[in-house]
């Protein structure tokens, strides 16, 4: 199930974004456009893409024109070819112009994440593609939703909903074994995941009873050895500057999942245009 943002979260982001763009008012539109004039607009894909953010588009245009009408709408997660229409909108021309950039910014950003995620999922074959916490501050729920729309799997949402012992935790705890012992003694019920960077650390993690072993920045050859060493006694997650080419190399090693920070911190915006017509 996709992690749906709440309507309250959607309203808050849209209102903040519109206020940032409109400020005291759209001086160009208010000077040139009859406030009673009507228009139709279509959002069109200018490249192949995976759609994400349609619910937010409704909210953007309803904030500037409560009577806006939507049609030809594609669902989040849909794959569109270049030239296909994402959605058509009818309403007051001035309102559509005021909401245009905010709507496109949101749609291009979220669809960009979904599109990149789909590319990684296709390269990974049977291996799950996970996101990370490397998200835009305050927009995590939307960006993780976009990952899910692209076919990826959401990792922990924050520091509160999963145990992941990283390198700095290990240093502060005095090593892998002490870190695992203290976490197990704490009584937390969540599966315990711990980061490793070489085969000796993998052995320590296994001996300490880790539930998930993170294989960080290892070569494909070392990861293959680690998977053989673990032999299903713990789940395996690969991480570390993942590219499409690297994921394709790792797809058949027997890993359970691969985490990709770039899904959210480096996804390029997709190209979408909004074309206006006067009503017949």
pLDDT tens column, 137-175: 999 999 999 999 999 999 999 999 999 999 999 999 999
The pLDDT value recorded for residue 2 is: 63
Active-site pick, 65, 76, 90, 195: 195
Specify whether 122 is catalytic. no
Query: Cα–Cα distance between 39 and 100 in angstroms, integer?
Result: 13
CATH 3.90.1170.20 in the chain: give the residue spans.
7-120+267-277
**Residues 200-213: what's their mean pLDDT?**
98
**Contact present, 43 and 274 (Cβ < 8 Å):** yes
3-class secondary structure, 167: helix
**Residues 252-276: what's their mean pLDDT?**
98
Strand ranges (E), 115-242: 128-130, 163-165, 192-196, 212-216, 235-239
pTM of this structure: 0.96
Res. 81: pLDDT tops 60 = yes
Calculate the average pLDDT of the chain: 96
**Contact present, 251 and 126 (Cβ < 8 Å):** yes
Specify whether 30 is catalytic. no
Domain 124-265 class in CATH: alpha beta
CATH topology of domain 7-120+267-277: Aldehyde Oxidoreductase; domain 3 (3.90.1170)
**Residues 83-107: what's their mean pLDDT?**
98
Residue among 181, 122, 110, 179 at smallest CA distance from 148: 110
Res. 4: pLDDT tops 90 = no
Active-site pick, 2, 62, 74, 101: 101
Specify whether 26 is catalytic. no
Active-site pick, 193, 216, 237, 256: 216
- Percent of the chain at pLDDT above 70? 98
CATH 3.20.20.70 in the chain: give the residue spans.
124-265
């Amino acid at each position: 199930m996709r992690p749906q943002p709440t309507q309250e979260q959607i309203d808050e982001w849209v209102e903040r974004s519109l206020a940032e763009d409109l400020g005291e008012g759209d001086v160009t539109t208010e000077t040139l456009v009859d406030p009673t004039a009507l228009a139709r607009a279509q959002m069109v894909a200018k490249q192949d893409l995976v759609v994400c953010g349609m619910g937010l588009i409704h909210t953007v245009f309803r904030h500037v024109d409560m009577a806006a009408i939507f049609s030809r709408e594609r669902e989040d997660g849909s794959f569109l070819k270049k030239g296909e229409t994402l959605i058509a909108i009818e309403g007051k021309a001035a309102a559509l112009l005021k909401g245009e950039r905010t709507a496109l910014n949101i749609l291009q950003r979220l669809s960009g994440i979904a599109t990149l995620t789909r590319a990684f999922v296709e390269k990974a074959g049977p291996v799950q593609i996970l996101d990370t916490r490397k998200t835009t501050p305050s927009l995590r729920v939307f960006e993780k939703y976009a990952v899910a729309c692209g076919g990826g799997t959401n990792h922990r949402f924050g520091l509160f909903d999963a145990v992941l012992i990283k390198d700095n935790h290990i240093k502060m705890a005095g090593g892998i074994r002490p870190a695992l012992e203290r976490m197990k003694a704490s009584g937390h019920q969540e599966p315990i995941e711990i980061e490793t960077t070489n085969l000796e650390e993998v052995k320590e993690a296994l001996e300490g009873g880790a539930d998930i072993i993170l294989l960080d920045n290892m070569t494909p050859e070392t990861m293959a050895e680690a998977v053989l060493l673990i032999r299903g006694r713990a789940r395996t997650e690969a991480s570390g500057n993942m590219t499409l080419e690297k994921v394709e190399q790792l797809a058949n090693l027997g890993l359970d999942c691969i985490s990709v920070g770039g899904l959210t911190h480096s996804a390029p915006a997709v190209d979408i245009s909004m074309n206006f017509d006067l009503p017949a």
